[in-house]
Structure 1
Amino acid sequence: MSPFNQTTDNHQTFTLTGIPGMPEKDFWMALPLCLLYSTTFLGNVIILVVIKVERSLHEPMYYFLAMLAATDLSLSLSSMPTMISVHWFNWRSITLDACVTQMFFIHTFGGVESGVLVAMAFDRFVAIRFPLHYATILTHGVISKIGAIVLLRSVGAVLPVPFLIKRLPFCHSNILSHAYCLHQDAMRLACADTRVNSIYGLLAVIFIIVLDALILLISYFLILQAVLGIASREERLKALNTCFSHICAVLLFYVPLIGMTLIHRFGKHLSPIVHTLMANVYLLLPPVLNPVVYSVRTKQIRQRIVRVKFGIGRQHGLVFIIIDARKQGC
């Protein structure tokens, strides 16, 4: 039996919410959601496969882009099971264990994405400030260590969250605000003192999101300084153009996040539909649009995607996508 429609004690089971006040409309959300998840999966997988296949893309910038695509894919897959179960099958119950597992992965990959965006800003700073030493500074070993640090930091910060939630008794309403589990959403349903959860949640946000936002601001201040130090106007514009895709990715991540935070903090009088919409935008928009932005704005990736020939083959018993780009003269 699926963990999302088990019926156990209400103290150990939460009820997920689709469209607040309009449950009869949930089914009509299933098709758009499936299209969004399919687009997310296809877009990010194409980015990963193209970067792996094309040797000319085996550079630090594209390795960090591959990290971003893998993170977007993981973040999307973390919310997909319950989103689809609610809107397609009307399975609204989720056990406490399944809920805390989902919130762990959602918050972890959200933190990883923030860290990867910081790493990409560092990559752009090194490329613009030290172009002759770019490859020697950002070696494969350094990139691997940066990726490991980003992942371990997020896992370490989020790991206590499931334990903090599981220690709480739930004896009031068990209805969550979304079609997936978030720490702050489950915490509000507890019938005990949640100050420890609130304080730890705030510290985790400061340690990851706020700190990363400050580092991004400082990074772009230093990047702007480096760009202004370039004598040629054409070279300055070229350097800034290499940052455009990253700036779009930063805005796609932080603007919905800030909007959701402000609405949760100051918009309690707003319709529940607004809260649900902003939360879904935060989770679904960056994974869908990041591959589009980088495919459109990055010439090397765009050229190879345009020349891609898709075929289906089998290797070691697995169906895979054959990217036949080299035959086109790439």
Structure 2
Amino acid sequence: MKIIINPAVTWCKGYKKALLMHLHDEKVQSVPLSVIEVIEYIATCKKTNYQDILIRFSAHADVVKSYLDFLRHNKWLLEVPSFVAYQPISIEPSPVLKIRNFYIEISENTRLDWFENIAKWLRKHRATHSLIVSFANDSKQAYENASDIFNSAKRHGFNQCGILLPKHLKNENVYFGIRHNLDFFLAQPNSDYKTEINGVEVITLPNDIVHKGSHLQSNLYSCRHNKLGTYRADNIFINKNKYVYPHPFDLYLFGKAENSLDLSNVINSPKTKSYFSMSKDKIDKCRICEYRLSCTNSLWNRQDKDILSSAPNNCTYDPTEGVWHDTTVTSTTCKL
């Protein structure tokens, strides 16, 4: 049996970076140099097996065996019969952005026909499966609109429907008309909010949610790393005025969506593509940082919200000095 690299991890640019990304996902921070050498060896060697690798790298046998077992367990390395003529394939990232979660701000003016036009397009073209609503105000009409929208969302194939920050709501009877289609609440920090509705999950946001968005890992998020470690989920947020943003916590304006055609144009616009292709190598401070592959700092923690390459406003590490400070470090000078 010979060892090969699973082609499913080669969507990243090169075998080494792809496997290192997965290792950083689980092991965090640093990867021993010997493991990098092993990955390069497997990627370039035509015929090798498990024992051959351990013998070749016997000087680091314990570390190498640990990582090999980890990679095999997660099926990032595969063992296949040596007589099989294996032709490596290249798997590129999908050009279609999958928007997992649709956030919408509902007011008394939110129309059902507008929502259905948008929702059908998201389901058909972006595989969107979760609807999360917030309320612009505490009005009876807004709640009635939400009830109609939840009913429609379930009919059009949304798997989950939830309410963002229900502590904002004052009317205790608001959920009566929507409870049959409600799957979860996202509650505010330190909230004592509880629900008697069977099957409705209450997910409490941490106090530092704006600074650590990666804590929102739940069944309603589909988080992923890009090639250099930027951590985020694929979401879209449309407010009560139909302006489109990446997320309720990141009001980086993409455009306006009066209908699904507008939304299609907005999502395919250069500005939106720049946001979703943003990575830490485009931020001066992060590009030279040794922790960038394992960093889970969310993209919305920008010092300047309108500039994607702005340094994070909550990072106390200085990569030029290699030290952590007591206060935020947002600018560094890279000495070449």
**TM-score relative to the length of structure 1:** 0.25
Structure with more strand by fraction? 2
Higher RCO, Cα 8 Å, sep 6+: 1
Q: Which has the larger Rg?
A: 2
More helix by share: 1
